[in-house]
Structures are given as C-alpha cells and as structure tokens.
A and B are shown apart, each in its own frame.
Chain A
Amino acid sequence: MNSLDRLIKEKLQREIQAKTRRHFIKDCVAGMGGLALGSFFMSCNSFLGNKDNAKIALTERDINPLASMAPPFPAKVKSVIYLHMAGAPSQLEMFDYKPTLHKLNNQACPQSLLEGKKFAFIRGTPKLLGPQAEFKQHGESGNWVSNFLPHFSKVVDEVAFLKAVNTDQFNHGPAQLFMHTGSPRLGRPSIGSWVTYGLGSENQNLPGFVVLTSGGKTPDAGKSVWGSGFLPSVYQGVQCRSKGDPVLYIDDPKGITRNLKKSTIDAINNINRKEFNEYSDPEILARINQYEMAYRMQTAVPEVMNINNEPEHIKEMYGVQPGKESFANNCLLARKLVEDGVRFVQLFDWGWDSHGTGHDTAVDLGLRNKCTEIDRPMSALLLDLKQRGLLDETLVVWGGEFGRTPMQENREGQEMAYKGRDHHGDAFTMWMAGGGIKKGASWGVTDEIGFSALEGQVSVHDVHATMMHLLGFDHEQFTFDFQGRPFRLTDVEGHVIQEILA
C-alpha cells in the first residue's frame, strides 16, 4: 500500500470516528424522512439530498441560550440584586432588638434552650450576651435599627424585614448552598441560574448573571453558590473582579489587534457554520453565538465595570474606593449592571463570622467595623436605584446564611476574651426592598431573647418562593427535568410570604 492510500484510509477512519451517535441517529431520521418524501414525489427526486428540507425546527433558545422568554405571570421586577453577608451577620446587633436579653446579660443560659440543640462551637452551659448596640425606632414605619447602621436607619422605610427566617444548616458551606441553591448539598442550580434560565437576559453584550465578591475571601461554599448545577452551564454566574481586569484574560493578548481578533472569530464561526450545515446540531449555533458574545463582552464589560466615570457626588454617596476591592464599589457596580439590563447581580461580602475569637470577630468591635463598611453603600444603593426609577423594577435582598446565638460563644467551654456569638439558624433577620415589596413592613417575631420564632417563621424555601413570585414564576410550576424527575428551586416546599408583598 502506498502512502497516499494510507492517508486516504486514515481520513476515512477519522470521518467515521467523528460521527457521533447523535449524528448517526439524526442522519438516519433525516434519511428515512428523505426516502419517504422521495416515494411521495416519485418524479421529483431532486428533493432527496436537499439538506434544507431535513432541517430541524430551531427555537430562538437553540441559537441564543440567553434569548428572553416570557414569565408565566406578569413580573413585578425584572432584575435582582442579592447582597449576601458571608459568615452570617448578627441580627441581635443590627435589626432584632431584644431589651430582655440586655437585662439577662451574663446570666447562664437556661438548660431548656440547650436541650437537643447542637451548636458549632458552644459547649456546656454558655452565658447570655446582651445586645452590644443601641437600638432606636426609625422612619414612619418605626422599625428598629441599631446605631451600627446610622445611614441605613434613614432608608428603613424602603425595606420590608423578615425577622424570623429559619434554616436547618449551622455550618457556613452547607448553609450558603442552601441559601443560594435551595439544597445544602452540591449539585443544584443557584437562584441566579434559575432566573436567567427562566427569563433570559436583556443586554446582549453582557452576561445575564454577574457575581461580585468583597471582604478578601470568596464564600466558604465555593463557586457552587453561583453554579448552574444541572442547568446548562451558560446560566452560571460570571464572577467579575472589581480590581484589575473585571474578567480574567478579557484583554486581547499583546500584539493582537481588535481587527485581527474579529477576523479570527469570523473564521472560526465560518467553519462552525459549515459544520452546522452538515450536521444541523443546534449546539454549534449556540457556540457561534458564544464566540460573538465574548467578542462583544470584551468592550462592554470593562465599560460597565469602570466606576471612574461616575460623578463625584455619587462616588461619595457610596463611599467607593476605585481600584480596590470593596463592598462599596460592588454596590455601585450592581446599580450600573442592573441599569444596563443584567438580570441577576449577586454580591458576597466576606467577614461576618463574629465568633469573638479576636478583635475582628468581636460583636462590639469587628462587627461594628463591618457594619460601617456596608452601611453607606447599601443605603446609597437603595437611594440611587430609587432616584433613577430602577427600584420599582428591581428586587434587593439582604441577608446571611444564618443568624447568631443570643448566648456568648464559649469555645471549648472556655470563657473568651472577646465577645462573640455562635452560629444559629432558628431565627434570623433578612430584608427585601424594591418592586412589589410592601415598604416599611416587618414580618416575624422572635422570643424575648431572640432565640426562636414566636410568629411568622419563614424558611429559606419561602424566601425563594417569594423571589420567584416577584419575578413572575409560580415556584411550584417552574421546573427542570433532570435524572428522570422534575426539579425545582424550592424542592417540595416553600410558600410565598404574602405579608411583605405590596
């Protein structure tokens, strides 16, 4: 056999290998259809072999996975900004005022509260710890806010509090997963993925789901808290950095001009289009679209992620520090992203795990500093959205993965030098603001020391159900088939919290 024959044989082998089962079955179906068609039009044999006739019907979503889709019900909001305080902020120093706890400060915790409970670090009998902040009622609603949040207390009438949110997880990782995917175990899509999957995205130059982190670390649960789980990976959150390049490797390499880049992408897409004409696989079209979007993002993302061009008074209102990684920068970016039609913006701020193991985690010191860090930016975010007419079509959610104990932490049963609180998921505070939310509402009441809910206890699933409701979904009907059964964000639970809806 000469070398030419060998080459031809190898090429044929390659072609056979490149045919996947999908192509084989598709060709079979198309071929059968063609045969049937041929027999219908005995004389018109030109129909056979004309690929266009065998073309499958493509939906808009096949070509562009982020194409917009109508929600089942009219939505109250079109985008979401979720502010997550990773580590779990202490509700007892911020929103849930418990004067009785103050009186009981330093007294031993009653045994009845400890029975059958498991804490992350508390051992033996801990002592109760009074609130380390001063509380006042604010605004027309008269809702309580502590002096740790002086700016926020001025915008308190814009938000609705959930004072008795309940989670069954008491470690950061699982609790964060639960809060963002509806399950404490890995593998489920995050809220933002569900939302972009269900609604698509408005701006064709930007991702539909953007994640921004601050506080020096990413959440304990890792990137799964903005993962797409079993949904197509195009719906996962895109993490943007507020320092340096917003997205890694977004700049063209040195020596590559924008035009050269464009022709590279055009060449790749032309090959892909030929491939599509041969195999009619919609995945190829989706890929073509991804290349084009990535090219557009190269200019659009750095533009939207640049806060330097904002007017000075806006920068001051948020308290931004350009060039650094900060929660304030991220809040301003969140507004810009929502303004530019991004569907879901997820902010994580790390450093709220106030165990009292040192100065930074003491509820009267480090926590107060953390509060100062977020107080101005998050209040500014609400006001800025409002003055631009965006607050009535955006939902802002604030919370941690759980709350903290009314007892002072006694790690290893020892008294600790700093005042701290342990993880506690029975009753903690979250708030929501924006379109469809009842302004100034407060739902849920905890007992005298803030240990458990007396009334209006809501679960993490209830929070998700309410968010879905505002976005135009019935959380029970919004499902994705995977491994033989339909999955939903709220699993088999969840009720819409009517008390905080306008």
Chain B
Amino acid sequence: MEVIQQLIGRLHPVVVHLPIGFIIAGLLLQWYDRKNNEWSKIIGIIFKWGFIFATLACMSGFLLYQSEGYSFDTVKFHLWMGIFTALFCLLMYLRLAEPSNIEFIKRLPIVLLSLSLFFLISFTGHLGGNITHGSDYLIEPLPNNIKTFLGIGPEVYEMPTLDEDNWEEAVLYADLVQPILNTRCVSCHNSKKEKGELQLEEENGILKGGEDGEVIEPNDPDNSALYARLILPLEHEDHMPPKDKTQPSIEEIEIIKTWIANKNSFDKTIGELGLKKELFYAFFPKKKDDTYPDVEVAEIPKDTISAIKKKGFHIEQVSENSNFIRVSCINKPTFTDKDFNLLSSVKNQIVYLDLGETQITDGIFEKLSTLPHLTVLKMDNTRITGKNIETLEKLEYLKNLNLVGTNFEEVHLDHLKRFKKLQIVYLLNTPIKKTYQTDKPKEGEVFFDYGGYELPKIATDSIIY
C-alpha cells in the first residue's frame, strides 16, 4: 500500500502540468472570444477538465507530502493554493457551462474568476518549484551583478574561521561543527524539511538521529552515519550530501570525524580536547598574498601575448587567476631602450620585469615609470648609472630593485630612499662603497644589500681526517 501511495505521490510533478495547460488554454480562449462570446460552452468543458486534473494533482501532491518527509510548514501554502485552484476551476465551469440554479454563481463576474485563476496557477506553480528545487533555484543563474542589484547578493560559501591567536579557546562544536552542519547539511535536515526524519540544526536533533536511528556513535566515527556517509564514494546512494549538492571540504570532514572521536562534546574547547593545530590550518583566515599589488587589471588578449612572445620576450602570467604578468628579456639580450615600446600594450599588467644583461641605458627610467604596477625590477649587468632614476619614484608598488653589476653611482642612492614601498636594493659589483648604509635598516626602510659576502679560510678547510 505504502509503495502505491509513494508511486502516486511521485507522479505529482507530471500530473500538475495537465491542469496548468487546461487553465491556460481556457484563459487564452476566453481572451480570443472576449467580443463574440460564442465559445462559452467549450471553454466551460475545458475548465471542467481543469477541475478534474487539479483535484487529482492535489491528491497526488498530498500523498507526496505524506510519504517524502516534507514538513507541513513547507508545503501548506502550495497545498492550499492548489485546492483553491481546483475550486476556482469548478466555479468557472459552473458559471460558463451549465445554467445554474444557484443564484450567486450567476452573478460572479467572469473577469474576476479569470484573473484569480491566472494568479493562482502562477503562484502555486512557483511555490511548488521552490519545494523541489529550492527557493533560490529561479534566480540562481542570474549574473552576480544583477543579483546584487536586486539585493539578493551572490551566495558565497564561507568556511567558518578561527582566530589564529586564541584558536585553543574556541569551542569545537559551536565554532566549527555546527557552522559546518549549517552550511552543508541543514538546508535539507531542518525542522521544516526533515529529510530522513533527521534534523541537524541543534544539539537535540543531532543526538536524536533520523529514521535509521542515531547518527552518532560516540568515539567511533567510522560507525557514525554523520561521518561515515560523508566519506562514502560520491556515486554511492547513501553518500551525503547528495552528489549534486556542494560537498564539504576534506578539512571539514576531518573536523566532524575528530569531534565524534572525542565523545562529540558540545561544550569543550579545542584546548581542553588537546587537539593539534594541524587540524585547523584551513580554518585560520587566509593571509593575503601581498607579493603583487592588490589591484584588478584587464585581461590581456591572447593574440597580444603571442605577438609579444614572437618578439622574443619571455612572458609568464603570475597565476591562472591573475592578469598580471612577469616579463623577462632572458632570451632577448639585444633589448634596447627603444624596444620598450613593444611592451606598451601591456603596461598595466607588468609586475615583474627582468632587463638583466640587456643593452638598456639611463634613458630607460622614464619609460619604466609608465608601468604603474611594477613590483620587481631587475637591471643587473647593464650600462645604467642611475641618472634620472628619480622618475621611478612614481612607481608606488616597486619593492625589489636589482642593480647588480651596473655602474650605479652613489649620488643617486638618496633618491631610492624616498621610494615609498621599496624594500631591497641589490648593489653587488657596483662602484658604491659599503659605508653608505652601515646600520641595519629600520622597519619600512629600504635595505641596501652590497653583497660581497665571504667565507674566510679556516684551518679545518684543508684537514683530511
């Protein structure tokens, strides 16, 4: 019996479309017939069929609700509006087809009935869709900027985070386990939907378990459904969350396991449980990578890149998700100041530029000052002397400057001190004397590395034991 009930229930999504079709057909015919009023009888019959199938849809829908574990709160509006739709179809049929004895039906305005039916099927259908596909199904494919405009905002999943300084004081359940459950499980296992009769919203529900019994076996994660079903193969029918839903990360699954393995305590802190820091790395706020400027630049068209590569430059994208590039003249030792113009189409994107061992002169500085995001600049083993290097002061991100093996003159070093972000300057094999900067630089000051490191000979160098 239960099987038949379930089967009929599951036919609901098919059956519902019949009354929708009839009602829309009826409404359209009414519109066409609005002047002549010749087809009333036929339209009446259509609404009769609409009534019959709407009733069937209501019944199958009810069976579906009963057998699939939906809570009444979730389905009630859909159910009631479905019933109203059926009733309005009946009224419309009575009004149009049969000469009725009941006085109030005769006096019903047809336009009112039509409008009501139109709204009823739209809303009932929408609510039904929300139940099966989730309330964000319809708007999900919209581009993020339109969503933001509508005030819905793109839904970004955020991992719960721990404070790196006092991670040991966080309560394992409240600060990690429940937030993970909330984002990964609760959309189905809540007091409204209660799939598998399981609620994971709070302590009592978790401990109570679902239709197959308790989901936690204290200290034994492998025999606890709450963990064991997470690590089943994705294709396994018992795998949770279902394979078309977003899956928890390895670290999150590991947290659930650890929690169960430690008596699934609801109030103990991580420190009290004596857990290792390794488990929680993924939950510490990500340190922002500050190697290159935190600025968005336009993507370089592919053919621009290959055109520049053909000219002999080596180009690397900083990463797959970054439009910044690193450019090197390692395969182009003939590079001169004039050749700089070949790079003018990618000025905004260059963050790393290696002009080492090329033919550049002091004339290059003015051109380089047009690279707004330049962070690392190598000019080692070239003929530059530093004249006009002050034009590079404009480069607000320049951090690393390599002048090894150049004729850089000491008088120009003072300019470098004024560069805002400059951290290190390499001066090996330049005419500059080591006395220029003797103290260790303070925080935020530029460090001049003169190189010339030595490993003095010591007695043991030549001893053979």
Closest to B276 in A: A455
A70 and B319 contacting across the interface, CB-CB below 8 Å: yes
The answer to whether A387 and B320 touch (CB under 8 A), given A68-B315, A74-B291, A365-B465, is: no
A336 interfacial contact with B, CB 8 Å: no
Verify A372–B278 contact, CB threshold 8 A: no
A79 vs chain B, min Cβ distance (A): 12
A204 to chain B, nearest CB (A): 5
Asked if A368 CB lies within 8 Å of chain B CBs, one says yes
* Shortest beta-carbon distance from A343 to chain B in Å: 11
Alpha-carbon distance between A169 and B208 when the two chains are bound, in angstroms? 47
The one of A74, A204, A372, A387 that contacts B451, using a Cβ cutoff of 8 Å? A387
Q: Does B112 contact A (CB under 8 A)?
A: no
Query: Can you name the residue of chain B whose Cβ is closest to the Cβ of A376?
Result: B455
Contact of A70 among B281, B317, B328, B451 (CB under 8 A): B317
Pick the contact of B314 from A68, A372, A392 — CB < 8 Å? A68
Q: Give B196 Cβ to nearest chain A Cβ, in Å.
A: 30
User: From residue 311 to 325 of chain B, which have CB atoms closer than 8 A to chain A?
Assistant: 314-322
Does A99 sit within 8 A of B, measured CB to CB? no
Contact of A151 among B315, B318, B426, B455 (CB under 8 A): B455
Cβ-neighbour of B465 out of A75, A341, A369, A495 (below 8 A): A369
- CB–CB B318/A388 < 8 A: no
Chain A residues lying within 8 Å of B314, measured Cβ to Cβ, are 68, 202, 204, 341
A384 and B453 within 8 A (CB): yes
Does B460 count as interface, using CB distance less than 8 angstroms?
Answer: yes
A323 at interface (Cβ–Cβ under 8 A)?
A: no
B330 touches A202 (CB 8 A): yes
The CA of A340 and the CA of B380, in the complex, are separated in Å by: 13
Question: Which chain A residues border B454 with CB–CB below 8 Å?
Answer: 313, 317
Which residues from 422 to 439 on chain B have a C-beta closer than 8 Å to any C-beta of chain A? 424, 426, 428
Asked if B378 is an interface residue, CB under 8 A from chain A, the answer is: yes
B353 interfacial contact with A, CB 8 Å: no
A contact residues around B449 at 8 Å (CB): 386-387, 389
A498 contacts B281, C-beta separation under 8 Å: yes
Contacts of B455 in A (CB 8 A): 151, 154, 317, 376, 379-380, 383
Alpha-carbon distance between A39 and B154 when the two chains are bound, in angstroms? 47
Interface centre among A341, A366, A388 (most CB of B within 10 A): A388
Q: A380-B455, A387-B449 are in contact. Are A71 and B320 (CB under 8 A)?
A: yes
Is B158 part of the binding interface, using a Cβ–Cβ cutoff of 8 Å?
A: no
Which residue of A74, A150, A472 is within 8 Å of B460 (Cβ)?
A150
Report A399 CB to chain B, min CB distance, Å. Answer: 21
| Residues of B close to A341: CB separation below 8 A | 314, 328, 330
**Considering the chains assembled together, what is the distance between the CA atoms of A57 and B463 in angstroms?**
63
Q: Is the CB of B378 within 8 A of A75?
A: no
The yes or no answer to B99 lying at the interface (CB within 8 A) is no
Nearest B residue to A148 by beta-carbon distance? B460
Residues of chain A within 8 A (CB-CB) of B460 are 150, 372
Q: Which residues of B contact A203 (CB under 8 A)?
A: 330-331
Q: Select from chain A the residue with minimum beta-carbon distance to B305.
A: A60
Assess whether A388 is in contact with B428, with CB atoms less than 8 Å apart.
yes
The answer to whether B428 and A376 have CB atoms under 8 Å apart is no
Complex: how many Å from CA A388 to CA B406?
12
Q: Which residues of B contact A204 (CB under 8 A)?
A: 314, 331
With both beta carbons as reference points, the residue of chain A lying nearest to B452 in the complex is identified as A387
The B contact surface, by secondary structure, is loop
Partner of B400, one of A368, A383, A392: A392
- Asked if B318 and A74 sit within 8 Å, CB to CB, the answer is yes
A76 is an interface residue with CB less than 8 A from chain B? yes
Q: In angstroms, how far is the closest chain A Cβ from the Cβ of B327?
A: 11
Does any Cβ of B come within 8 Å of A205's Cβ?
yes
Query: Which positions 55-112 of chain A face chain B at CB distance < 8 Å?
Result: 60, 68, 70-76
A256-291 contacts to B (CB < 8 Å): none
Report chain A residues within 8 Å CB of B464.
369, 372
Instruction: Determine if A349 is an interface residue (Cβ-Cβ < 8 Å).
Output: no
Q: Looking across the interface, which residue of chain A has its beta carbon closest to that of B449?
A: A387
A401 within 8 A of B: no
Contact A389 B426 (CB under 8 A): yes
Question: Which residue from chain A places its CB closest to the CB of B450 in the assembled complex?
Answer: A387
A426 within 8 A of B: no
Interface 0/1 of B135-148, CB less than 8 Å to A: 00000000000000
A386 touches B453 (CB 8 A): yes
In the bound complex, do residue B465 and residue A364 qualify as a contact, i.e. CB atoms below 8 Å apart?
yes
Cα–Cα distance between A473 and B465 once the two chains are bound (Å):
45
Give the CA-CA distance A19 to B402 in the complex, in Å: 55
Q: Which of B297-345 contact A (CB under 8 A)?
A: 306, 314-322, 328, 330-331
Inter-chain contacts of A364 with B (CB < 8 A): 465
8 Å CB contact of A74 from B278, B319, B461: B319
* Interface pair B330/A72, CB less than 8 Å apart: no
Q: Which of A151, A366, A372 contacts B463 (CB 8 A)?
A: A372
With A150-B458, A386-B453 known as contacts, the answer to whether A73 contacts B319 (CB < 8 A) is yes
Point out the residues of chain A lying under 8 angstroms from B451, CB to CB.
Answer: 386-388
Q: Which residues of B are found within 8 Å of A75, using beta-carbon distances?
A: 319
Closest to B306 in A: A60
The answer to whether A388 touches B380 (Cβ under 8 A) is yes
Closest to A74 in B: B319
Chain B residues contacting A151 (CB-CB under 8 Å) are 455, 458
- Shortest C-beta distance, A86 to chain B (Å), equals 21
Chain A: minimal CB distance from B20 (Å): 41
Whether B400 pairs with A389 at a CB distance below 8 angstroms is yes
Closest to B250 in A: A476
Give Cα A340 to B291, complex, Å.
23
CA distance A384 to B428 in the complex (A): 10
Would A387 and B426 count as touching, CB distance under 8 A? yes
Residues of B within 8 A of A365 (CB): 465
Digit string of B366-386 for contact with A (CB within 8 Å is 1, else 0)?
A: 000000000000101000000
Give, as a whole number of angstroms, the nearest-CB distance from B318 to chain A: 5
Q: Does B292 contact A (CB under 8 A)?
A: yes
B322 near A74 (CB under 8 angstroms)?
yes
- Complex contacts, B452 vs chain A, CB 8 Å: 387
A387 in contact with B319 (CB, 8 Å):
no
**Measured between alpha carbons, how far is A380 from B454 in the docked complex, in Å?**
8
Q: Any chain A CB within 8 A of the CB of B404?
A: yes
Please give the distance in Å from B373's CB to the nearest CB on chain A: 13
Complex Cα–Cα for A472 and B328 (A): 19
Known: A60-B306, A74-B292, A203-B331. A389 touches B380 (CB 8 A): yes
Once the chains are docked, how many angstroms separate the CA of A389 from the CA of B352? 14
Min C-beta distance of B105 to chain A, whole Å: 62
A388 surroundings in chain B (CB, below 8 A): 380, 402, 404, 426, 428, 451
CB nearest to B376 among chain A residues:
A393
Q: Please, which residues of chain A bring their CB within 8 A of the CB of B315? A: 68
Complex CA distance for A76 and B321, rounded to whole angstroms:
15
Asked whether, in the complex, the Cβ of A389 is within 8 Å of the Cβ of B465, the reply is no
Q: Mark B69-111, 1 if CB is under 8 A from A, else 0.
A: 0000000000000000000000000000000000000000000
Give 6 CB contacts A-B under 8 Å: A70-B317, A70-B318, A72-B320, A202-B316, A372-B461, A387-B450
Rank and list the top 3 A-B pairs by shortest CB-CB distance, nearest first.
A387-B451, A70-B317, A383-B453
Taking Cβ atoms with an 8 Å cutoff, the residues of A that contact B are 60, 68, 70-76, 150-151, 154, 202-205, 313, 317, 319, 340-341, 364-366, 368-369, 372, 376, 379-380, 383-384, 386-389, 392, 472, 495, 498
